[in-house]
Amino acid sequence: MVETLQNTGVEPEGKILVTDTAVREIKKILGQQAPGTFLRIGVKGGGCSGLSYMMNLDTQTGELDRAFEFGGVKVVVDAKALVYLNGLTLDYTGDLLNGAFRFNNPQAKRSCGCGSSFSV
């Protein structure tokens, strides 16, 4: 189950969801970082399908950022990236050999086999 979103940035249309499993994994990662660190999700040009997902840790927000909170975890998306990520669900699969974050993006018309790039 995903908690209600908290919008602390500008008001573009769009939302993302982060599953409880992903929240637990993000908390593990953030627990090793400086206070105030959050997860940033975005897109960049490239990859075998045209756009690639980006995830990194950050401590600074910009005026075009939209922040969401899930179970005490802050996730930030730039408003421009949110156009491509609207409706995205970020999940984590804890398979022993292939544990990884997974992007379920309803905006993607085509994805590559590895799931790290897409086209709209």
CB atoms within 10 A of CB 72: 10
What pLDDT, in 10s, does the model give residues 98-114?
Answer: 788 999 988 877 665 44
Which residue type is seen at 97? Answer: L
pTM over 0.75: yes
**In CATH, what number does 17-108 get?**
2.60.300.12
- Residue boundaries of the structural domains of the chain: 17-108
**CA pair distance 92, 103, nearest whole angstrom:** 9
Q: Could you give the 3-state DSSP secondary structure of residue 115?
A: coil
3-state secondary structure 52-85: EEEEEEECCCCCCEEEEEECCEEEEEEHHHHHHH
What CA–CA distances, in Å, run from 42 to 96, 97, 120? 27, 26, 14
What pLDDT, in 10s, does the model give residues 53-78?
Answer: 899 999 999 999 999 999 999 999 99
Q: Could you give the 3-state DSSP secondary structure of residue 43?
A: strand
Q: What's the pLDDT score for residue 110?
A: 62
